[in-house]
Amino acid sequence: MDKSENVVIDVRNVKKKFRIYYDRSATLKERILFQKRREYEDHWVLKGISFQVQKGEAIGLIGENGCGKSTTLKMLTKILYPDAGSIQMKGRVSSLIELGAGFHPDMSGLENIYTNASIFGLKREEIDRRLQEIIDFSELGAYIDNPVRTYSSGMYMRLAFAVAINVDADILLVDEILAVGDAAFQAKCFTKMQEIKKRGTTIVLVSHSLSQIEQICERSLWIEDGTVRMEGLPRDVHPHYMKYMFQKNHPEEVPETEEEEQTPAVGESGEDANRWGSREAIMDQAVILDSDGRKRSCFSPQESFTVHIDYSSKEEQANAVAGLAIYRSDQTYIYGTNTLIDTSQPITLKRKGSIDLRIDSLPVADGRYSIDLALHRPDGFNYDFWKNVCEIQILNNSQAPGIIFLPHHWEVH
């Protein structure tokens, strides 16, 4: 099949402006008497965005506030229209952008399900089939028959999310809404997103959580000042974006000379391209140890190993996080975690010390896997990000294809 035939989102040189009035008149009388109040300037939010998304692909849009991410998403949903360029979409579209738009406060949750789902294009019989699943997902129970105006903000958002996520759309557009409800419900929403992706739904996700994008998306688009600055694999794009944001928000800490530069600019090569950060705390070395404390790089899927990190810090950091991510040789994201996820508490980095992460097994298929490590604050401010810091090889005698290794045995009777 021609690859172009598989494109379901085609955005070509799209530009969008908003008209900003200096002192807009509120009435017809003011417009006549104070014509100068009608003076305005055009603010171009998008200056020529182009990208394509294949059927079943998930892409993430990243960038600082005001760069044009949400505007792009709203044009994909036809909430807004471009001033120049073209957008082509194929299939049913569901959006998780302005949750609950169209909900009537005096109608019950049940009535609003039918109203809101019909806005997404579902017929009555389709809503009937999905009704119980929507109610169960929203966790509203008996409250589903109460007027929406009696709901808490969390209940309201859960119901809106449950409707939008159960539309069975061909294309799902998501804008910063995976923080709905409490922690348990957020985890359920994220799991549901992964299920939707596995079913072949095309996803465009706007999020400031780079880890969410890395777990869902195959590609990231970094939008800066209305144009695409960089696109590619999330783990290739995100370090450059994080470095850019660090330098912009902490200009006083940016090295003044080339000799002090920690990481080459985007597009340059060199050993340091895999590492950057403020260097308030750094990883002096990272090694893989076997169960006897010896350095090794080859393991079977059932063997345990330890990632050992020696670090040093300019001063004690009482609010730190250590993180790890594992990638297959083709850049497939295998697993990631950090100390904050696992313990819900930050760690303290001393002037000198070490961190050990013991992994009981790595049940993946035969192949080579690279490890990224990071020391950072809970808000994502990086002290030291080290990409491809070490490599591990998994040797599986069965040579089974796929991504994971499942312990198994056959019985023939």
Question: Would you say residue 35 has pLDDT above 90?
Answer: no
pLDDT bucket at 11, cuts 50 / 70 / 90: very high
Element of type H or E holding 308 = strand 305-313
For the chain, give the percent of residues with pLDDT over 90.
36
The chain-wide mean pLDDT, for the chain, equals 82
Q: Counting beta carbons within 10 angstroms of the beta carbon of residue 16, is it exposed (0 to 12), middle (13 to 18) or buried (19 or more)?
A: buried
- pLDDT tens sequence across 97-154: 766 666 888 999 999 999 888 877 788 898 999 899 999 988 898 899 999 899 887 7
Supply the pTM of this predicted model. 0.67
CA atoms within 13 A on the CB side of 66: 3
Torsion of CA 257, 263, 269, 270, to 10 degrees: 90
- pLDDT tens sequence across 310-328: 999 999 988 898 999 898 8
pLDDT bucket at 271, cuts 50 / 70 / 90: very low
Rounded to a whole number of angstroms, the distance between the first and last alpha carbons of the chain is 44
pLDDT bucket at 288, cuts 50 / 70 / 90: very high
- Among 75, 24, 19, which Cα is nearest to 49's? 75
CA atoms within 13 A on the CB side of 362: 31
State the pLDDT at residue 179. Answer: 57
Token pair, residue 158, equals: 């859960």
Hey, which CATH number is domain 2-243, 2.40.50.100, 3.40.50.300, 3.40.718.10, 3.40.50.1220? 3.40.50.300
Three-state DSSP state, 74: helix
Question: Would you say residue 260 has pLDDT above 70?
Answer: no
- The rounded distance, in Å, linking the Cα atoms of 404 and 208 is 29
State the pLDDT at residue 177. Answer: 63
Token pair, residue 365, equals: 């298929």
Q: How far is CA 379 from the centre of its chain?
A: 15
Which residues belong to CATH 2.70.50.60 in the chain?
Answer: 286-407
State the pLDDT at residue 29. Answer: 66
- pLDDT tens sequence across 165-211: 887 789 999 887 655 556 567 667 777 888 888 888 999 998 877 77
Contacts of 252 (CB under 8 A, 6+ apart): none
- The rounded distance, in Å, linking the Cα atoms of 240 and 238 is 5
Say if CB 42 and CB 193 are below 8 A apart.
no
- Section 199-228 average pLDDT: 87
- pLDDT tens sequence across 57-87: 999 999 988 898 989 999 998 889 999 999 9
State the pLDDT at residue 268. Answer: 33
Point out which residues pair with 347 in neighbouring strands. Answer: 320
State the pLDDT at residue 86. Answer: 94
- Section 296-310 average pLDDT: 93
- Among 32, 8, 26, which Cα is nearest to 91's? 8
CATH topology for 286-407? Coagulation Factor XIII; Chain A, domain 1 (2.70.50)
Three-state DSSP state, 364: strand
Which residues belong to CATH 3.40.50.300 in the chain?
Answer: 2-243
State the pLDDT at residue 43. Answer: 85
Running DSSP on this structure, what letter comes out for residue 303?
-
Strands 333-338 and 347-349: unpaired
- Section 358-384 average pLDDT: 87
* Sheet with 93-96: strands ordered across: 93-96, 171-175, 202-206, 58-62, 219-224, 227-232
Task: Give the residue with greater pLDDT, 230 vs 24.
Answer: 230
Least confident of 19-28, 97-106, 379-388: 19-28
Strands 171-175 and 202-206: parallel
State the pLDDT at residue 1. Answer: 46
